[in-house]
Structure 1
């Protein structure tokens, strides 16, 4: 499978890229700073570019079977500005499958079902900028014709892979407090072969 991975120098994205390369997929990594990559191989192609550059996105997704985006908010508007460009590039190239890493804040609230968690009393965060960025990216995907899945971890510490966690469609598993980077990456990567959560958000936690 030809995979495009965005955010491959980040915590979750680097693990996803390593899993895909290990399994023999051809992996195209679009990164701003290739020197920060820790992955190389005959099945790894690196494109230096920005997720806000339409031409770089078009080059990266051409010929791909699926896209995995682990881009963070980066304290800016990368998600809200970049997602429409990515959707357009994928649509032009006929690529339908995309898996992204979101945040538990954009899952539905259990206490106020008409709201997202970051909009309700369920969230204890006082700063909502990051969640708002993820929300805009989610809305762009929701309105698209792509086969999308948004993996939404709660508190995300570094930690070993366990393979044991709980997931819930559009909700955070009850009393979920945290999930490791490696387990989040493994679950997101596994969605390439699992249609269960297409066009859904998925909460993940221990």
Structure 2
């Protein structure tokens, strides 16, 4: 399969890239400067995800999209996602898997709102959650086959494989999940239709 990947230089994105290449997929990765690896099945496009022509160049000829774009206290995510959605539709691409945050899962404490709004999270800064929530609302309005993987606290670490997942909620008592396990689960969604059209909470 030919995959488009945004956020390939980030912690989760690097792991997704490695898994895809190891499995023989072809990957087109849009990056701001360069990637520290080269591979015969990897096409690196240097550009800006906020520019329509760079998104178009990345998505042309691909069959599925991974987005591991972070927020980094910028609005890059919410500027880019409308372009990604529009370009996917123009190119007939249906599947998109994105990395979100546990803050945009449903609140257990306050039904009807998201975790970052309902008091479930101890985080006082909500900028990242607000950015990811805006992307969730955008995808929710489309007919794309979207899945948002929503990790809680995300320390570095390998994939152990013994995590718990729950549709639209953070698993009860979940406190953290490694970068490796988050990437592994997200990558597996390429072949898994179970969570299409939903957010997925992931934690130990």
Question: Across the two proteins, how many residue pairs are aligned to each other?
Answer: 204
CA shift for structure 1 position 116: 0.1
CA shift for structure 1 position 190: 0.2
Structure with greater helix share of residues: 1
Name the structure 2 match of 1:81: 79
Contact 1:3/1:67 (8 A) holds in 2: yes
Cα distance in structure 2, aligned partners of 1:61 and 1:138: 20
Name the structure 1 match of 2:140: 142
Cα distance in structure 2, aligned partners of 1:19 and 1:142: 27
Unaligned runs of 5+ in 1: none
Spell out, residue by residue over 1:116-154, the C-alpha distance to the aligned partner (whole angstroms, 9 max, x if none): 000011111111011000011111111112100000000
Spell out, residue by residue over 1:39-86, the C-alpha distance to the aligned partner (whole angstroms, 9 max, x if none): 311100000011101111011111111000000012110111111010
Name the structure 1 match of 2:24: 24
Among 39, 42, 45, which residue is 1:44 paired with? Answer: 42
Unaligned runs of 5+ in 2: none
Spell out, residue by residue over 1:148-167, the C-alpha distance to the aligned partner (whole angstroms, 9 max, x if none): 00000000000121011000
CA shift for structure 1 position 29: 0.5
Q: SS of the residue aligned with 1:193?
A: coil
Q: Following superposition of structure 1 onto structure 2, how do residues 27-176 of structure 1 map, counting pairs within 5 Å?
A: 27-34=27-34, 37-176=35-174
- Kindly report structure 1 stretches of 4+ aligned residues shifted beyond 4 Å: none
Q: SS of the residue aligned with 1:125?
A: coil
CA shift for structure 1 position 100: 0.1
Name the structure 1 match of 2:3: 3
Name the structure 2 match of 1:13: 13
Spell out, residue by residue over 1:152-183, the C-alpha distance to the aligned partner (whole angstroms, 9 max, x if none): 00000001210110000000000000000000
TM-score by length of 1: 0.98
Q: SS of the residue aligned with 1:204?
A: strand
Cα distance in structure 2, aligned partners of 1:38 and 1:21: 14
Cα distance in structure 2, aligned partners of 1:76 and 1:18: 26
